[in-house]
Amino acid sequence: MLGIIRRKIVTGGVPVSKFGDSLQKQSWVLSRCLSTAAKEITVREALNTALDEEMSADPKVFLMGEEVGEYDGAYKISKGLLEKYGPDRVIDTPITEAGFTGIGVGAAYHGLRPVIEFMTFNFSMQAIDHIINSAAKSNYMSAGQMNVPIVFRGPNGAAAGVGAQHSQCFAAWYASCPGLKVLSPYSSEDARGLLKAAIRDPDPVVFLENELLYGQSFPVSAEVLDSSFCLPIGKAKIEREGKDVTITAYSKMVGYALQAADILAKDGISAEVINLRSIRPLDRAAINASVRKTNRLVTVEEGFPQHGVGAEICASIVEESFGYLDAPVERIAGADVPMPYAANLERLAVPQVEDIVRAAKRTCYRSVAKAANA
């Protein structure tokens, strides 16, 4: 109970953490310039330490999935946790997504706080019944008697060279389902703060990581490294301020958007980059406030375009800020095809930095060079 109160204080401190964000950004810029100041950790370390600290803080938290124990996690996210917490709390399962996801949801009904790892989110398809029908709807159907504090986590989105079945983004799928919270971290700070928030949250959270970001290092402040650190669910982060065009992105695409913003700056276009962090609930307020300032919007996502995250953002802007738009919204998404295997086609099928640059220029009515041939 004390722990819960402590958490409320921490997560309740939204203004403080917002203030922290801007401090954070300054130190990030500084560290980029000086490349010595702040400590850097990888996204993998951020997730590992977040799991470790939450398991240490609350014995009801346990980790379950394929290869999470003796193998240290298929992507080594749970490295060392079996040794530290033992096989009762770090549970290797057989290959039974439907089975172990269902067991996790059942455990959450009875007050435990399972963290269910999918080796990749592609495999969550085999258990989607448990995620949507068992986890997401129980609280409503039981009129609040049966909450389901569970985290479904694992790598999501386009990987490299693994073909159609292993390369896709599920953000829009899960974000369309009421009863779920859907988070998608980009940096180490996001990964730590959001995973801790997800584990402490009383509702089912789908936590979409990205395999290609696991090894990437990001500078982090002392505040981020503190075991009490936690980020609010449902709040986006302005990664870079700008005045000419708003670019929304999540996960790996935030990095691409930041690179695009660098290129645009050289052409005199000041882009504001919003890291969504939370896909559901979506921070409509932050997105609309930004568009009302810049009057232009480019949405970026890796997933399929139709009924995607970008589509939802466009709808929100049309509904709430239509009169502020100075140009049609540009929507950048993965190509509307299953992911091809061949490397050249694969590159064509996911958004690239140049795509974001071109789209942003179009919204600013600047001339755009034609895409190079593959």
Partner 1 sequence: MAAFSAVKIFQPNPTAVRSSDNHNNKPFLLGSSSSFLQRSLKSRSPISSISPSRTFISAVSIQEDNKKSLSSSPLNSSSMMITKEEALELYEDMVLGRSFEDMCAQMYYRGKMFGFVHLYNGQEAVSSGFIKLLKREDSVVSTYRDHVHALSKGVPARSVMAELFGKATGCCRGQGGSMHMFSKEHNVLGGFAFIGEGIPIATGAAFTSKYRREVLKEQDVDHVTLAFFGDGTCNNGQFFECLNMAALWKLPIVFVVENNLWAIGMSHLRATSDPEIYKKGPAFKMPGVHVDGMDVLKVREVAKEAVERARRGDGPTLVECETYRFRGHSLADPDELRKPEEKEHYAARDPIVSLKKYLIENNLASESELKAIEKKIDEIIEEAVEFADASPHPPRSQLLENVFADPKGFGIGPDGRYRCEDPGFTQGTAQV
How far is Cα of residue 341 from the mean position of the Cα atoms in its chain?
Answer: 25
Cβ proximity to partner 1: between 55 and 159 the closer is 159
From the candidates 166, 223, 241, 354, give the one annotated as an active-site residue: 166
| Strand pairing class (61-65; 90-92) | parallel
Give me 371's structure tokens: 């895409």
Decide: 305 and 333 in contact? Cβ < 8 Å: yes
User: Which residues are near partner 1 by CB under 8 A?
Assistant: 66-67, 70-71, 74, 92, 94-96, 98-99, 122-123, 125-126, 159-166, 305, 310, 331-338, 340-345, 348-352, 354-355, 358-359, 370-371, 373-374
Min CB(366)–partner 1 separation in Å:
14
- In the residue annotation, 97 being an active-site residue is answered as yes
CA-based R_g, the chain, Å: 20
- In the residue annotation, 166 being an active-site residue is answered as yes
From the candidates 97, 211, 239, 346, give the one annotated as an active-site residue: 97
Min CB(37)–partner 1 separation in Å:
35
Q: Which burial class, exposed, middle or buried, applies to 5 when counting CB atoms under 10 A from its CB (0-12, 13-18, 19+)?
A: exposed
Min CB(120)–partner 1 separation in Å:
10
How far the first Cα of the chain sits from its last, in Å, is: 59
For helices 188-200 and 43-57, give the axis angle rounded to 10 degrees: 30
Other residues' Cβ atoms within 10 Å of the Cβ of residue 9: 10
Cβ proximity to partner 1: between 5 and 374 the closer is 374
Cβ proximity to partner 1: between 31 and 124 the closer is 124
Give me 111's structure tokens: 């007050």
Min CB(180)–partner 1 separation in Å:
22
Cβ proximity to partner 1: between 12 and 338 the closer is 338
Which residues belong to the active site?
A: 97, 166
